[in-house]
Amino acid sequence: KQEVTQIPAALSVPEGENLVLNCSFTDSAIYNLQWFRQDPGKGLTSLLLIQSSQREQTSGRLNASLDKSSGRSTLYIAASQPGDSATYLCAVPYNSGYALNFGKGTSLLVTP
Amino acid sequence: GAGVSQSPSNKVTEKGKDVELRCDPISGHTALYWYRQSLGQGLEFLIYFQGNSAPDKSGLPSDRFSAERTGGSVSTLTIQRTQQEDSAVYLCASSYDRGTTGELFFGEGSRLTVL
């Protein structure tokens, strides 16, 4: 069974810092990996989708990398802002299926 | 609408009653997912619909849970004889899957409270 782990569970940083969120998964036979953001009381917002053939994807201040062989992905946030405060989740498809298996997320707080 | 729409946004019910939760996916999206998010827990997969194929029901926690998707669009998740442990946020997502999982777009969720 695919297990997804996110470290750290919570993170607090001052505004302006660059930071890295980590995601690991146990089954490297994945088609893709997705990073999401969830604000309190809200649904999830897709941030980045990395296909298995890709090593990284970038969107604005966000950069996500994927290393299938080691079962790891990182989400890099540059020049963090208070508006980045949210929970960040990574997800991979269950084995050969379509349903996504989510980590429990990293709760990020960026202080002014 | 432009996004995934869910209703109701909040539902309070008494133990033993049936509830229906509705999801209207993004137009043109072939795949629809239901997830459950309990307080302090991760997202739990419930059911997956893809086009006209038989749904993947492997995540449904009990036979009190069922879902249907009519005309390949709107979906309804039904919970019969609700229990307190059913209290959670039920999230719906849709995507355009072709060969593998596409980018998922989530609704705002339906918060269910069972008294």
Tokens of B22: 């509705």
| Average pLDDT of chain B to the nearest whole number | 91
Nearest to A46 among B45, B103, B108 (CB): B103
In the predicted model, is pLDDT for residue B100 greater than 70?
no
- Residues with Cβ < 8 Å from A78, sequence gap 6 or more? A18, A61, A62, A63
pLDDT score for A75: 97
- Where does the pLDDT of residue B81 fall: very low under 50, low under 70, confident under 90, or very high at 90 and above? very high
In the predicted model, is pLDDT for residue A1 greater than 90?
no
Mean predicted confidence (pLDDT) in A35-43: 92
In the predicted model, is pLDDT for residue B1 greater than 80?
no
In the predicted model, is pLDDT for residue B6 greater than 60?
yes
Query: DSSP state, A82?
Result: G
* C-alpha A18 chain-centroid distance: 15
Burial B61-78 (b: 16+ CB within 10 A, else e): eeeebebebeeeeebebe
- Where does the pLDDT of residue B101 fall: very low under 50, low under 70, confident under 90, or very high at 90 and above? low
pLDDT score for A79: 97
Contact A89 B103 (CB under 8 A): no
Nearest to B104 among A31, A34, A101 (CB): A34
Which residues in chain A (20-79) have CB-CB distances under 8 A to chain B?
Answer: 31-32, 34, 36, 42-46, 49
Contact B107 A49 (CB under 8 A): no
Tens digits of residue pLDDT in B14-35: 999 999 999 999 998 989 999 9
d(CA A67, CA A106): 19
8 Å CB contact between B89 and B21: no
Q: Which residues pair with A106 in a beta bridge?
A: A88
Contact A99 B33 (CB under 8 A): yes
8 Å CB contact between B92 and B34: yes
| Largest interatomic CA distance in chain A | 43
User: Helices (DSSP H) in chain A: which residue ranges?
Assistant: none
Query: DSSP state, B16?
Result: T
Chain A contacts of B105, Cβ < 8 Å?
A: 46
Give the least confident one: A69-73, B66-70, B102-106. Answer: B102-106
